[in-house]
Amino acid sequence: MVDWLMQQGAVYVRIHSRSQAVGMWQALMEEGVITHVTNEHQFKDKYLFYRFREDQQEGVPPPTFEDKQQAEAELPETLGLLLQLAPDAIFRMILRKPLGDRSTEDLEIIYEELLHIKALSHLSNSVKRELAGVLVFESHPKAGTVLFNQGDEGKSWFIILRGSVNVVIYGKGIVCSLHEGDDFGKLALVNDAPRAATIITRENNCHFLRVDKEDFNNIIRDVEANTVRLKEHGQDVLLLQKIPTDGRAADGTHSHYKYMVMAGTPQKMLEHLLETRIDQRNEDASDTFLEDFLLTHVIFMPSHQLCPELMRHYRIDAANSRQEKEFIVANKKRVLQFVQIWANLIRDAFFEDASIAAFLQELQEAVAEDCKKYGLHEELSAISKIIEKKQKFDEEVTGVCRRWKVGAYGQIRLLLASESQDEERTEFKRCIKASDEVVFRVYCADHTYTTIKTPVSATAEAIKRSAAEKLGFKDDLLLVEVKSTSERVIFKDSEVSVPTGLSVNGRIFLTPADQVDLLTPLPEQDGPTDGTGVILETLNSLDIAYNMTIYEWDLFSCVHEYELIYQVFGRHQFRKIMSNLDVFLRRFNEVQFWVVTEMTLATTLSRRVALLRKFIKIAAHCREYQNMNSFFAIVMGLSNVAVSRMSQTWEKLPSKLKRTFADFEALIDPSRNHRRYRLTVAKMVPPIIPFMPLLLKDMTFSHEGNKTFMEGLLNFEKMHMIAQTLRTIRHCRSQPLVFDPPPGNKSQQDVRNYIRNLRIIDNQKRLTQLSDALEPRRP
């Protein structure tokens, strides 16, 4: 049966493995479509016998020729649906296995699921790995099932996988409801107390993960038993987790376990890193401590603190002159190797940093002095090459005075000396730098304005002063963004990247502090009154998707990983620009509202149907190009209530395209933390343009669900989670984007100009009004 499914997959859909095919059969088994001859619950890839439900029914005639033809026609769609259901079916199948029968691969699949469950976000990764071995699947088919009663002994902890429950307390009735991702019952286990409430299922077919009391207590004991605490002056300075493994230690000897950093002081973690991770003979791909440290150090040990610490470690001979020469040389080499890895991994942000520039000069001089005594000639050459790269980088940045402009529709444009096609193509390959200048308008309450020019890195306070001077305003002023919806957002004085961080149709206003309520949007912020359907009809869907992907790859390539940290941990805290991330995120909103704008400005039914078809085709091509950011934006635009309510338009859409769009909606389904999207992207190979809002959500989830410091120690497991998201971005960009233009002689210039200058309405209220006027609500 698996062989047959793999053969069909080669023709109709991409089935990547036999285990995936097993999951597809398991999904049919759970629905009762097939059964094992002895009624076993799990489908197995073995020589076993199964039968279809219809074959068990008496008096059912064999299928006719027409039945077979219809089945053949429906097979691709059916296989596509089963492919979507397979991962959940596999997950449930693993959870139903006896605990001792779960393989290493099974445990890894469970662990990956647990990483995205809200109720477990506060637990360390080591606890989640332990939980993977003891979680049990429990399901209840009927609403109204009592899981436990108030006053019962606490025996289990539950996490909701599907469905919801009511929490009932005697004398109060239903006090709240819990939903997918929530948990209940843990308090009674921790406190060894009776149940504080009764739990009743709210709907049919509820699924739960269950942890029994004994297993829960064993995990807590095991984690503490495997925690190694390093102390200095009676205080913990480093917490290590002992983890079973089958590899080699740093000194090359065979080891059955390794130590992972859980928490520590930043200084002690750096010391541990230099001692244990820099010169390992056998690299362990699963040990990401060094990379985690470098990707996240801006949070807990910024460069102005890290650089002096590295110099202190380098100058070990000054503090410990009695140490053996071999020990001193090894320490110095580790510091120098750390700096090389740092420069290669972090790139632009490393070369832009003033603290690092001064540190490199000091380090180069120190190594030059040590050359005769310690023979560090190779290391001196390596540090000199880093400084040469830094100088070349500085020359490229300062050699051309780049100036950006906030255009009429809010897009950020590079002001070019020439408008040649080559410069247009490379516009966003030249990323926005802190030292660049940006030209933009600052408006007054009466809609007059002044145009000012500031560095991209200018604070809101600096912009306020510059605009106030030109407008002749006095003190006690506020810099405010006014959105097209009339919403007003006051900028903190310390905020940077102000002009690039505006909403799609947002504008910057300067006002006395007591007159904020008088600010109103400009007429132009309403967006266009006529659509571009006539132009869109002349453009090929594949050409549009191709040019969108090329443009958005350039935007994505300019986003530095640190910009996501600045965004999630607080834009104003780091005083670093996030302009490249701003522009990329803005593009998502631009594309989403472009779809809704065009649909609601198309005055005839035939044009709306034509546009609907076109947008679905563009989304399909974006998916083929692995441009998941625009794929999401287009599908979410078509799912916007202003479009989804256009029943007359959707009724005219061919059934094949309706099915395609239903598949697209299933792919962007946010349930189980966007599980279907994550599984789809996991099968892709770079280059990929990911759905950036989800990556930011993951980082926010890691940040808000976990404390940065606990009992004076940095929570490094949190840094690991942050770094995992940043590694996803690095993986997506690990290969260059190389696509041949679509076939045809038509110039791509018209398409390129169109997709880079989208005019949109981002006011949901106005979009809904336009939609209602086109297709009034039916009585």
- What's CA 66's distance to the chain center, in Å? 47
**541 and 510 in one domain?**
no
**354 and 387 in one domain?**
yes
The pLDDT of residue 319 is 67
Backbone φ and ψ for 446, nearest 5 degrees, come out as: -85, 10
The pLDDT of residue 23 is 81
Amino acid at 687: P
How buried is residue 778: exposed, middle or buried, by Cβ count under 10 Å (0-12/13-18/19+)? exposed
The pLDDT of residue 736 is 95
- Domain holding 39, by residue range, is 1-94
**744 and 598 in one domain?**
yes
Q: Quick one: pLDDT band at residue 242, thresholds 50, 70, 90?
A: confident
Domain contains 282: no
The pLDDT of residue 294 is 97
Q: Do 512 and 445 touch, CB atoms closer than 8 A? A: no
Residues whose CB is less than 8 angstroms from the CB of residue 624 and which lie 6 or more positions away in sequence, other chains included: 545
Q: Do 649 and 710 touch, CB atoms closer than 8 A? A: no
Residue 401 C-beta-side C-alpha neighbours within 13 Å: 4
Alpha-carbon distances of 149 from 185, 199, 212, 406, rounded to whole Å: 11, 7, 17, 62
Backbone φ and ψ for 434, nearest 5 degrees, come out as: -60, -30
Q: Which of 593, 438, 614 is nearest to 534 (CA)?
A: 614
**582 and 493 in one domain?**
no
Q: Quick one: pLDDT band at residue 248, thresholds 50, 70, 90?
A: low
Report, as an integer, the average pLDDT of 409-419.
72
* Of the candidate ranges 109-113, 191-195, 251-255, the one whose mean pLDDT is the lowest: 251-255
3-state secondary structure at position 627? strand
Q: Quick one: pLDDT band at residue 251, thresholds 50, 70, 90?
A: low
The pLDDT of residue 421 is 39
Q: Find where tokens 């002992």 sit.
A: 242
**89 and 108 in one domain?**
no
Read off the pLDDT of residues 357-377 as tens digits, 9 standing for 90 and up: 999 999 999 999 999 889 999
Q: Quick one: pLDDT band at residue 6, thresholds 50, 70, 90?
A: confident
The pLDDT of residue 148 is 93
Helices (H), 281-410: 289-300, 303-314, 316-319, 325-346, 348-352, 354-374, 377-399
Domain contains 236: no
The pLDDT of residue 41 is 64
**590 and 483 in one domain?**
no
The pLDDT of residue 284 is 66
The pLDDT of residue 13 is 64
Read off the pLDDT of residues 595-645 as tens digits, 9 standing for 90 and up: 999 999 999 999 999 999 999 999 999 999 999 999 999 999 999 999 999
Domain endpoint, select from 500, 525, 550: 525
More confident residue, 26 or 385: 385
Domain endpoint, select from 177, 199, 220: 220
Residue 690 has pLDDT above 90, yes or no: yes
Domain contains 161: yes
**87 and 191 in one domain?**
no
Domain contains 232: no
Alpha-carbon distances of 750 from 85, 536, 754, 779, rounded to whole Å: 42, 11, 6, 44
CATH at residue 669 = 1.10.840.10
Residue 212 has pLDDT above 50, yes or no: yes
* Buried/exposed code over 119-130 (b: 16+ C-beta within 10 A; e: otherwise): bbbebbbbbbbb
The pLDDT of residue 125 is 76
The pLDDT of residue 424 is 44
The pLDDT of residue 280 is 64
Residue 420 has pLDDT above 70, yes or no: no
The pLDDT of residue 254 is 55
The pLDDT of residue 425 is 43
Domain contains 199: yes
The pLDDT of residue 300 is 96
Q: Domain tally for the chain?
A: 5
CA atoms of 33 and 143, how far apart (whole Å): 24
Report, as an integer, the average pLDDT of 436-458.
94
Domain contains 705: no
CATH at residue 113 = 2.60.120.10
CA atoms of 348 and 356, how far apart (whole Å): 12
- DSSP code string of 537-583: HHS-HHHHHHHHHHHHHHHHHH--HHHHHHHHH-HHHH----HHHHH
* Percent of the chain residues topping a pLDDT of 70: 93
The pLDDT of residue 779 is 65
Angle between helices 716-732 and 289-300 (to 10 degrees): 110
CATH at residue 68 = 1.10.10.10
Alpha-carbon distances of 40 from 91, 359, 532, rounded to whole Å: 17, 67, 59
Q: Find where tokens 């996991």 sit.
A: 682
Residue 321 has pLDDT above 90, yes or no: no
Domain endpoint, select from 181, 196, 220: 220
**309 and 175 in one domain?**
no
- DSSP code string of 647-663: HHHHHTS-HHHHHHHHH
Q: Quick one: pLDDT band at residue 130, thresholds 50, 70, 90?
A: confident
Average pLDDT of the chain, as a whole number:
88
Residues whose CB is less than 8 angstroms from the CB of residue 88 and which lie 6 or more positions away in sequence, other chains included: 27, 672, 675
**748 and 619 in one domain?**
yes
CA atoms of 346 and 365, how far apart (whole Å): 23
CATH at residue 353 = 1.20.870.10
DSSP-assigned letter for residue 71: H
**328 and 198 in one domain?**
no
Q: Find where tokens 């540190």 sit.
A: 359
Report, as an integer, the average pLDDT of 678-687.
92
The pLDDT of residue 418 is 45
More confident residue, 244 or 200: 200
Domain contains 233: no
The pLDDT of residue 320 is 66
**511 and 431 in one domain?**
yes
**409 and 382 in one domain?**
no
Backbone φ and ψ for 613, nearest 5 degrees, come out as: -60, -45
Alpha-carbon distances of 487 from 412, 514, 528, 589, 748, rounded to whole Å: 22, 16, 20, 17, 38
Q: Which helix (H) or strand (E) holds 727?
A: helix 716-732
* Of the candidate ranges 39-48, 267-276, 645-654, 688-697, the one whose mean pLDDT is the lowest: 39-48
The pLDDT of residue 246 is 58
Read off the pLDDT of residues 269-295 as tens digits, 9 standing for 90 and up: 999 999 988 876 456 677 899 999 999
Residue 17 has pLDDT above 80, yes or no: no
Domain contains 723: no
CA atoms of 278 and 596, how far apart (whole Å): 52
CATH at residue 434 = 3.10.20.90
